Structure 1
Amino acid sequence: MGDTYFTIGMAGHIDHGKTTLTKALTNVDTDRLKEEKERGISIELGYAPLQTENGAHVSIVDVPGHERFIRQMIAGVAGIDLVVLVVAADEGVMPQTEEHLEILQFLGIEHCIVAITKIDRVDEEMLELVTEDIRDRLEGTIFDGAPYVLVDSVSGKGIEELKSTIFEKLKNVAFRDAYGSFRLPIDQVFTVQGQGTVVRGTIYEGVVQKGSQLTVLPKGQKVKARQIQVHHEEQDQARAGQRTAINLGGVNKEEINRGDVLVASDHFLATNTIDVALQLINEKFSPIKQRAPVKVHVGTSEVMGKIVFFDRNELEQTNEEVLCQIRLDEEVVVRRGDRFIVRRPTPVETLGGGWVIQPKGGKYRYGEETILMLRDMKEGTPVDLVEDVLAKQILLDAKLLIQQTSLDEGKLGETLASGIADGSIIEISSGKYSLSKTFIKLKDEMLERLQSYHEDFPMRIGMSKAELVQTFSSAYPKPFIEYTLETMAKQNDIRKADQFMALASFEPHLPKQWKTRMEGIIAALEKDGVQAKKWEDYVAGTPVPKPDISELQAYLLHTGQAYRFMEDTLIHRSAVDLAIAKLQAETESEFGLKEAKDALDLSRKYLIPFLELLDELNITTRAEDKRRWTDKGKR
């Protein structure tokens, strides 16, 4: 299970021992706020890493249990893969337990473990009653059949069994795919002295690299990921499923709010009208009237809005899915398939939840026609289904597309042919398919990366292809990267030189800051001709930094302006050309050491390395003590 990332949520009623259990599992106290210490309850989300032995990377989020802090609770569970439902043995199922259960199901959380805590406070009979009560409550829900573990967080009883159960359960959890565009809904914003603005959240999808240019939506602010931390450890990147803190450059704390979303592409849109499939809670509530105010929780956002029906004027409890629209007072950032919760603002209560059918809803007429349209949209056209899957998986063959879209072979073939014809779908070699917009996205990212590399290393002929591929390999499949590079080369966007890649418009050059100093070093080398001094003699005392001196030497060699003459010596190309011309003028097609010495008037210290250089350049070829001019070296 190496290189997999999961977030586990602790949910349940206030004071049922979630924070204590989290500490027992991780040895981290998540009640970090002074107010939390004083009041003994969790207000903000607390996170801790769970150490594993099987290579999985697991974060535990301790979400608040108190009713007043339900917003933070929803923000926390929105990004989790597995929930540990905590129920105290001495109290059993309580109101917040019930509400958390409803919310977890609406948010599409499928995997659950029940932890019955505080078992030291009850006898065996009471424990059986509580366990039976929980089983009854979970019967018929998505968590029916969830495993139960009895624990006492203070003494540590049952903790190892709970860990084993968690690891066993995670084997069946599909971990979040790092493919796709980076998206992090922000649930915490703060400042660190000397560092600036920091945001926290669980990455929903994609990968973020240190130094990446990002956008805060819905405001559209451009920021830079200056530093990335996962559980207080600095990392070069973070990926889907990881709980992450990112130090942002270019923005103040006051400009970012919980509910904003950090993204790395323009694949996401801000919207204030969403078409939704709504499922209601399984109990009676006062009817919801047409255009009634509701509070919507999606990702880490909490936004007021009005609910709009197209087939009724008020909504009562029903087990059927309701297709409707929510018009929001503020913009949110959502994608098709995102889960949400709807609550009544007064009196405060959870009404239901569901998923987003269409992030950018329109103005529709009241009536059956709109309901049919929404139903078709919910089911998705074949094109929608294919594009939705390829947006997440990036590169798939026909077999996997059939599995993931449920389209039959004929319908899939028609859809792919249509997409290829209109340019929205591209076929990669060996019958794999991707989206044109994903190709364009990667192409833009590669051009930006190469531009940045050229600015950092202007004297290098380009970036190593292996390094460029590695940069994007955690977010894109390797065959797709190779296809993109080949296509970019064919389109003359980039140029290949051996194993190096560069922008087609780029030429290696001396950095502006040290250009004059470096030109002086090169001029001195050229002046000394074949009798060049050691490289260190030319650069001694120069203010040019050592790394740039090293880059200069490589630049001269790679661009052919100089040759390696001896291990610690370079020789300028013009000196080699002059010496070759002189040697050619005074020798026949074959010559020995004496003829070369007479022609060039060089000591053995310089003569032998020079002749060996000619052999290396294939200008001469050696046979015993004689050398012959090759076709390359003939006059």
Structure 2
Amino acid sequence: MDHGKTTLIQALTGVWTSVHSQELKRGITIRVGYSDAAFYKCPSCEPPLGYSTSVKCPNCSGESELSRVVSFVDSPGHESLMANMLSGAALMDGALLVVAANKKVPQLQTEEHLLALQTLGISQVVVVQNKVDLLSYKEALASYSDTAKFLKAGGMSKLPVIPVSAQAGLNMDALIHATETAIPTPERDGSKDPVMHVLRSFDVNKPGTPIQKIKGGVIGGSLTQGAFKVGDEIEIKPGVLNEKKKSYEPMRTEIVSLGTGAGMVEEIRPGGLVAIGTRLDPSMTSGDSFIGSVIGRPDTLPENSTKSEMKVSLFDRAVGSGGEDKVASIQTGEQLRLSIGTLPALCKVLKSGKGEIEVELRRPVCLFRGSNVAISRRMPDRWRLIGAGTVG
């Protein structure tokens, strides 16, 4: 269902993030897209007037000051693509939850995505009531009221709700102001060992490129702590499958370039999305083959794991089922899907007790103790979010 979030991101950043052929055909976001925007604030105008993405203030034509650069991840909104959405959300400090003013509130996917954000520990959210230009003033107020009632019922009445029209560029100043106010940049410790979660990987070489001009594979994602510099040696886990040993082996390579929304840089720190150019064979990184991997300095990341214990908390009802499917307790032997960082991972439950489970993962994963995990169960023909877990 189209709530206009990709159009909204285009209005804020000038980038259309749905670029894959099936996305254009079906009109929905399938893979995670991303783009950057610079937010400016005019010192002469009262908020929210004067907030924009332009150096020149659209309100008074005066000179604006750079507030900050923000990276957007356009995650799939369609409820059947929940795993992709969780992968994108896992990197974010906050979220814009887009609802369509011309649709009934809440849609099933709205409930599911809001609960998923809570599951992942993302509490800084701005609700965007899009497509108000398609309604009369009275209808838009009724939709706003329904949205506020929905949030209040879920104990989230303090979340700001901003009516906009992404297509017409209406009320973008208020949205930027709300984003700047409700989703501040968190404090991060740059002295810790660097950790980067991979969201994309690709081959940037065009067909027919001469061998001597071929560039190494590129890996995209977000640094959550520490810093990387050009020339650093890095380790990628869980790595690649060794066919002979039938096991995954971590990979090591060198950073040859660092790209951000602001251009090429020599060093990156937490905040925003980054593309790391490596010396890896580009065929290895093509087609997003490294999604879910973790990058750090050699010998600093956790060992690959195929088993994990975790504390779990289940919802009363499966999200997205219309409240019809009551969540039964997790049973030993059943199959689940875990969203771990940017990786959707299938697993089998080895043990199940009160509030705790032990699982065996289908493939090795780089697990961090204390990290949040979203838990989904197949009910009956698709995966539904049923609860959350914390890695022990």
TM-score range, shorter chain: 0.7 to 0.9
CA–CA distance in structure 2, aligned partners of residues 204 and 48 of structure 1: 18
Structure 1 equivalent of residue 215 of structure 2: 195
| 2:217–2:284 Cα contact (<8 Å) kept | no
Residue of structure 1 aligned with 2:73, choices 61, 78, 83? 61
Q: Structure 1 56/186 Cα, relative in aligned 2: closer, same or farther at 3 Å?
A: same
Distance 1:144 1:44, change over 3 A: same
**What is the one-letter code of the residue matched to 2:238?**
P
Deviation, structure 1 residue 141: 4.3
Tell me, yes or no, if structure 1 residue 164 matches structure 2 residue 197: no
Which whole-Å CA distance do the structure 2 matches of 1:28 and 1:239 have between them?
A: 24
1:325 match: 358
2:135 to 122, 125, 146: 122
Higher percent of residues as strand: 2
Q: 2:13 maps to what in 1?
A: 26
Task: Provide the residue aligned with 1:154 in structure 2.
Answer: 167
* Correspondent of 1:41 among 28, 47, 52: 28
Aligned partner of 2:323 in structure 1 is: none
The change in CA–CA distance for 1:164 and 1:208 in structure 2 (over 3 A counts) is same
**In 2, distance between residues paired with 1:143 and 1:345?**
28
**Structure 1 pair 123/282, CA: closer, same or farther in 2 (3 Å)?**
farther
1:184 is matched with 196
Residue 249 (str. 1) matches residue 284 (str. 2): no
Distance 1:251 1:183 in 2: 22
Q: 2: CA distance between counterparts of 1:352 and 1:67?
A: 16
Equivalenced residue count is 334
Find the aligned partners of 1:24 and 1:263 in 2 and give their Cα distance. Answer: 35
Task: From the two aligned structures, give the one with the greater helix fraction.
Answer: 1
AA aligned to 2:167 is V
Matched, 1:297 2:339: yes
Deviations along 1:289-316, whole A, 9 cap, x unmatched?
A: 223110111011121112344535xxxx
1:79 aligns with 2:91: yes
Q: CA deviation at 1:232?
A: 6.8
Q: Of 200, 207, 229, which residue of structure 2 is paired with 1:209?
A: 229
1:346 deviates by 4.8
What is the CA–CA distance in structure 2 between the aligned matches of 1:352 and 1:230, rounded to whole Å?
A: 34
Aligned mates of 1:140, 1:133 — CA distance in 2:
11
TM-score (norm 2): 0.80
Distance 1:197 1:89, change over 3 A: same
Distance 1:145 1:157, change over 3 A: same
Q: Is the 8 A contact 2:252 2:298 kept in 1?
A: no
Structure 1 unmatched ranges of 5 or more: 1-13, 313-321, 359-635
Compute the displacement of 1:55 (Å).
4.3
Q: In 2, are the aligned partners of 1:110 and 1:142 still within 8 Å (CA)? A: no
| Bigger RCO of structures 1 and 2 (CA < 8 A, at least 6 apart) | 2
Equivalent residue number for residue 310 of structure 2:
276
The one-character-per-residue Cα deviations of 1:3-59 (angstroms, maximum 9, x if unpaired) are xxxxxxxxxxx3001001111111111122233223222111111112123442310
Query: What does residue 368 of structure 2 align with?
Result: 335
Whether the 8 Å contact between 1:83 and 1:113 is mirrored in structure 2 is yes
Q: Give the secondary-structure state (helix, strand or coil) at the position aligned to 1:41.
A: coil
Is 1:182–1:265's contact at 8 Å kept on the other side of the alignment?
A: no
Query: 2:68, 2:389 → 1: CA distance?
Result: 30
| Residue pair 2:331, 2:352 contacting (<8 A) in 1 also | no
Contact 1:79 1:241 in 2 (8 A): no
Q: Which amino acid aligns with 1:285?
A: V
User: Using the alignment, how far apart are the partners of 1:178 and 1:309 within structure 2?
Assistant: 38
TM-score, scaled relative to structure 1:
0.50
Shift of 1:330: 1.4
Q: State the distance in 2 between where 1:252 and 1:97 align.
A: 38
What is aligned with 1:307? 349
Distance 1:162 1:228 in 2: 30
Shift of 1:275: 2.1
Structure 1 counterpart of 2:247: none
Cα distance in 2 for residues equivalent to 1:138 and 1:162: 18
Asked whether the equivalents of residues 337 and 344 of structure 2 are also in contact (C-alpha less than 8 Å), the reply is: yes
Give 1:252 deviation, angstroms: 4.2
Matches within 5 A, 1:571-610: none
Matches within 5 A, 1:213-252: 213-219=233-239, 220-231=250-261, 233-252=263-282
In the alignment, the residues of structure 2 paired with residue 261 and residue 253 of structure 1 have an alpha-carbon distance, to the nearest angstrom, of 19
Q: Kindly indicate whether the alpha-carbon contact (under 8 Å) linking 2:202 and 2:282 is maintained by their aligned counterparts in 1.
A: no
CA offsets 1:115-165 (integer angstroms, 9 cap, x no match): 100001122333233223222332364643101111011221111110111
Instruction: Tell me: CA distance 1:142–1:192, structure 2 relative to 1, closer, same or farther (3 Å).
Output: farther
* Cα separation, partners in 2 of 1:285 and 1:310, compared to 1, 3 Å: closer
Q: Which amino acid aligns with 1:302?
A: P
1:279 CA displacement? 2.0
Q: Contact conserved, 1:47 with 1:59, CA < 8 A, in 2?
A: yes
Alignment root-mean-square deviation, CA: 2.0
Local SS of the residue matching 1:274: strand
Instruction: Report what 2:147 is aligned to.
Output: 134
Q: What is the distance in 2 between the residues matched to 1:135 and 1:309?
A: 41
Larger Rg: 1
Contact conserved, 1:119 with 1:152, CA < 8 A, in 2?
yes
Question: 2:389: which partner in 1?
Answer: 354
Structure 2: which 5+ residue stretches go unaligned? Answer: 41-65, 206-213, 240-249, 318-325
Aligned to 2:320: none
Displacement of 1:75? 0.9
Percent sequence identity over aligned pairs = 26
Contact 1:205 1:239 in 2 (8 A): yes
Distance in 2 between the 1:131 and 1:116 partners? 7
